[in-house]
Chains A and B, each alone.
Chain A
């Protein structure tokens, strides 16, 4: 079955450590996105990529980094520079630019940093 796989589902880290969240899709979608959700809040865009080897900052990119070396993979690194990293992280993809096509989400990774 085609879909978006995020791993792990839960992740625990100590403050000061970098951590990488995995996102893989087998939908052959060109565009991929990372969102952050805090409790009781909406979704905020961290980074997005519309094509391999290219990505753009979203609204809250500080303290995060990404790569897009393969079409199917868009890993997110939460660095020690991110002041409040504990959150629910959602990866998404769309077949084309999102203004032209629906967005589909993975099941998310809950990151807790202590």
Chain B
């Protein structure tokens, strides 16, 4: 099956810093989504982005499907950005999302 790798696995930032999270996938995809899981376990859908670039406030995402990667940008990070960021893809003719292993982000004061 498709492999989804995220980097870095862990990231510590000071409040106000910017960061880029990367998601690489091993096969062509129909769909890519980014999620944030907060420290209490709640998962929020950040972006539905099979290709192109989208922005939502301080967050933006870019997917280059032909090169099999996606990037999530976080600008002016806040402590509430802490948690785990997952990317997930739907490969080829599949009917399900395959999740990456996540990037754990800690934003400190």
Contact = CB atoms under 8 A, between A and B. Distances in A.
Contacts of A44: 99
A58 B86 contact: no
A103 interface: yes
A107 B42 contact: yes
Contacts of A107: 41-42
Given A98-B95, A99-B95, A42 B33 contact: no
Contacts, number: 55
Nearest to B30: A99
A100 interface: yes
A90 B102 CA distance: 16
A108 interface: yes
Quick one: which of B43, B45, B88, B99 has the most chain A CB within 10 A? B43
Interface residues on B, range: 20 to 34
Contacts of B48: 101-102
Interface in A92-114: 92, 97-105, 107-108, 110
A103 B41 contact: no
Contacts of A25: none
A50 B95 contact: yes
Contacts of B95: 48, 50, 56, 97-99
Interface of B: 30-31, 33, 35, 41-45, 48, 86, 88, 90, 94-97, 99-102
5 contacts: A41-B101, A43-B86, A43-B99, A103-B33, A105-B35
